[in-house]
Amino acid sequence: MRRHAHPVVELAGVTKEYPGGVTALRGVGLTVLSGELLAIVGPSGSGKSTLLHIVGTLDRPSAGTVRIAGHDVAALSDRSLSALRSRHIGFVFQSFHLVPGLSARANVAEGLLYSGLPRAERGRRAARALERVGLGDRMDHRPHELSGGQKQRVAIARAVAGEPDLLLADEPTGALDTASGRSVMELLHELNEDGATIAVITHDGEIASSLPRQVRIRDGEVVEDTGPAGAA
């Protein structure tokens, strides 16, 4: 992995101040290499969501630099930034964010809407992604016909169908029972073994310690970073 690894995320001196005087991030530096699986872990209020928004290019920093897949976010217009986001980043949320009336397959295909692929190809890729997450027999089920764990697998299939450079998973097991949560984490490990770069945002120390790298955040600062696995 390391020989061909390249930086997917490069943050330097990232600070985020919200109106009203809250400084949610203070001088955060973070580099994520391709092929990594890491946890961004910290208690409630430590700045995890803010960091997720900045790494996910949903928000811009007040100061500091953000590069995603080599692109300096500050140099991009909002429109170019959303193109960058749809091409390079997949999101998984605690509460799944699936479209209620749509089949699993249509939900996953939605994730490919901006890929420029023809509709039929989007459908084929969606089917393949669902097979990849073990839901080949649930393609036509709508979200209310799926268990929580299955819904999260659909959301993960949607996030990875376009083969993003980075998968950002925000408390991906937060709404699941222990067994489903464990199997979702196993799936993330498998996807990482197949080459996906994955950052899991969590307050859960146990989940964090099950991953190869932990970035600990507290009061808006990185207080510990175990670094890329295998790095000197």
- Give the interface with ligand ADP as residue ranges (CB under 6 A): 18, 20, 22, 24, 42, 44-50
Q: Which is nearer to ligand ADP, 42 or 228 (CB)?
A: 42
Chain position carrying tokens 């009336």: 101
Q: Which is nearer to ligand ADP, 125 or 216 (CB)?
A: 216
Q: Which is nearer to ligand ADP, 182 or 218 (CB)?
A: 218
- The minimum distance between CB 218 and ligand ADP, in angstroms, equals 9
- The minimum distance between CB 11 and ligand ADP, in angstroms, equals 14
Residues 6+ apart with CB under 8 A from 109: 119, 122, 123, 125, 126, 161
Q: Which is nearer to ligand ADP, 93 or 108 (CB)?
A: 93
- What are the structure tokens assigned to 58, written together? 């949903």
- The minimum distance between CB 169 and ligand ADP, in angstroms, equals 14
- The minimum distance between CB 46 and ligand ADP, in angstroms, equals 4
Closest CA to 184 of 165, 216, 207: 207
Residues 6+ apart with CB under 8 A from 181: 149, 173
Closest CA to 55 of 42, 46, 45, 64: 64
